[in-house]
Structure 1
């Protein structure tokens, strides 16, 4: 089976696949942590679909959009389900040339905690053995950082990412529905996996702030057009010191 679409995963969550399809997806989800993360994201019952759709409605040319809605069959009127929402997007219910699912993602992007929630879910899967086997030669690291730089408009180097007591292991580019998230990971000798993650942001510069996710400490901030977060099992005060160091290094 090829990489499943969000619509297939929603059908999986709604128990609308036959036994063979479901078995194939069970195997893929078990073997692919990133796919598992997508399933977790889609399965959250507390996602604010109605709030997001209300925001889209306020932006839409209502007469034209209502005409399209009236013409589209919906077996569950009134109300919304994950299946209906994604079906509407797939059916081409668009306005201003932008698909509804992209607008919904844009609405979520304005809620800054959501991308950190995705990263926290992903980091919860990490153990030291996840990183121990990775190559750490400088040529590999430079190639990885160039990929990240090109996609996110950064200027990273191994020197800027060097940490005391931790070995830099990998820079990789993740993506959720077209939104890039870069992840730089270290293996801390005392506290295990540690990650600095970044995505684009239009919220302007904001100071360091703290939170906890999955038993890990998080320090996050925004600098001009990028949002950053540092996440790991390090003590909060230690993590803040590292975040201040990164903030200074990466702003130059």
Structure 2
């Protein structure tokens, strides 16, 4: 089936499509990890509209805009769907003469953590059973790495990716908002799924930094043309040691 739009996925989440279309989407979501990520992202309704609209409010004709919003139905009223709220909010803001979509996208583009947030949402779905059945023969891994290398300008080898106590299970290419993301995934015997992810970046070199996403620890950094993140349930000190090892091995 064709890649479904966000509007269609929201209709799926709001149970506003027929059974045949729902069955098709159920199958597609099961088979496509990236589509599953999109559905999880939309289901969480965690787009930072409030922060973007705060910036918008500072530019808008507030009294006239407020009067029009006060006259609109409340988005909290029962029976109003998320699609109505998102559409009505954008339309109301456009009445003030402000291009809300461009403002929001511009605000979003300035948030360097966005891709890490998306990867964190994706990794939150992983359990050991997600990975344990995957083939681990070296020929398959080399083929996967060639696909990743071609899009990200990397030159990875299976030998560089061997870790003590963890087995490399998959190298795959994801995409977020037109931006390719390489995801290298291991199954750590003690801590479960572990992933090293990389995108192209032009922000120069930045040292290792730590954060938490969901219940996972993250170490992230940038080096020349790429930004990296290592995410898993491993303790922060262990994760930092692995990150330093990758920086040395991969020139990352």
TM-score by length of 1: 0.73
Residue pair 1:7, 1:83 contacting (<8 A) in 2 also = no
Residue pair 1:11, 1:83 contacting (<8 A) in 2 also = no
Q: Are 2:6 and 1:6 equivalent residues in the alignment? A: yes
Please list every run of 5 or more consecutive structure 2 residues that lacks an aligned counterpart in the other structure. 57-71, 73-83, 92-98
Residue pair 1:28, 1:35 contacting (<8 A) in 2 also = no
Residue pair 2:116, 2:229 contacting (<8 A) in 1 also = yes
Q: Equivalent residue for 1:157?
A: 157
Task: Compute the displacement of 1:240 (Å).
Answer: 0.4
* Secondary structure of the structure 1 residue equivalent to 2:194: strand
Q: Equivalent residue for 1:31?
A: 30
Distance in structure 1 (CA, Å) of the matches to 2:44 and 2:187: 30
RMSD of aligned Cα (Å): 3.7
* Secondary structure of the structure 2 residue equivalent to 1:4: coil
Q: Equivalent residue for 1:62?
A: none
Q: Are 2:142 and 1:142 equivalent residues in the alignment? A: yes
Greater shift after overlay, 156-165 or 236-245? 156-165
Spell out, residue by residue over 1:97-130, the C-alpha distance to the aligned partner (whole angstroms, 9 max, x if none): xxx78x9667534312111111111111111121
Q: Equivalent residue for 2:207?
A: 207
Residue pair 2:141, 2:170 contacting (<8 A) in 1 also = yes
Distance in structure 2 (CA, Å) of the matches to 1:3 and 1:162: 35
Q: Equivalent residue for 2:19?
A: 20
Task: Compute the displacement of 1:7 (Å).
Answer: 3.0
Task: Compute the displacement of 1:9 (Å).
Answer: 2.0
Q: Are 2:202 and 1:183 equivalent residues in the alignment? A: no
Distance in structure 2 (CA, Å) of the matches to 1:191 and 1:174: 23
Distance in structure 2 (CA, Å) of the matches to 1:232 and 1:216: 5
Residue pair 1:174, 1:180 contacting (<8 A) in 2 also = yes
Residue pair 1:185, 1:195 contacting (<8 A) in 2 also = yes
Q: Are 2:217 and 1:248 equivalent residues in the alignment? A: no
TM-score by length of 2: 0.73
Distance in structure 2 (CA, Å) of the matches to 1:85 and 1:151: 37
Distance in structure 2 (CA, Å) of the matches to 1:208 and 1:184: 19
Distance in structure 2 (CA, Å) of the matches to 1:142 and 1:35: 25
Task: Compute the displacement of 1:24 (Å).
Answer: 3.4
Please list every run of 5 or more consecutive structure 1 residues that lacks an aligned counterpart in the other structure. 57-75, 88-94
Distance in structure 1 (CA, Å) of the matches to 2:238 and 2:118: 23
Equivalences, count: 228
Distance 1:180 1:231, change over 3 A: same
